Amino acid sequence: MKPINILVLLLVLSLLAGCASNYNVILTNGRVYTTSTKPKLDKAKNRYVFKDTSGQPVEVAPVLVREIAPTSMSEASKFTSTPAR
């Protein structure tokens, strides 16, 4: 394989890997849903629609959503606990 082909292949694979991120949907009551696709706002129903990690469909009213963010940037990923002494 030519070096340019290898370079193009690596570039495409890295772009695809960068696009494959999970999202956290954090509700105002503290509940966190994780989904593999970005939630979409269904304007007809006025609901965010997505599937959770187990594949179950979820619909949430926008007024109940505090944050929608990639897992790596989400408020939920910043949670740290300290071990009991």
pLDDT class of 79 with cuts at 50, 70, 90: low
DSSP code string of the chain? --HHHHHHHHHHHHHHHHH---EEEEETTS-EEEESS--EEETTTTEEEEE-TTS-EEEE-GGGEEEEEEGGGSGGGG-------
Q: Is residue 63 domain-resident?
A: yes
pTM score of the predicted model: 0.65
Checking if the pLDDT of 83 tops 60, the result is no
pLDDT of residue 72: 82
Number of domains into which the chain is organized: 1
Residue 33 belongs to domain spanning: 21-77
CATH of the domain at 66: 2.30.30.100
Q: Is residue 16 domain-resident?
A: no
pLDDT tens digits along 7-60:
777 666 665 555 557 899 999 999 999 998 899 999 999 999 999 989 999 999
Q: Is residue 70 domain-resident?
A: yes
Alpha carbons 59 and 50: distance in angstroms, whole number: 7
Nearest alpha carbon to residue 35 among 16, 13, 58: 58
Checking if the pLDDT of 78 tops 60, the result is no
Q: Is residue 46 domain-resident?
A: yes
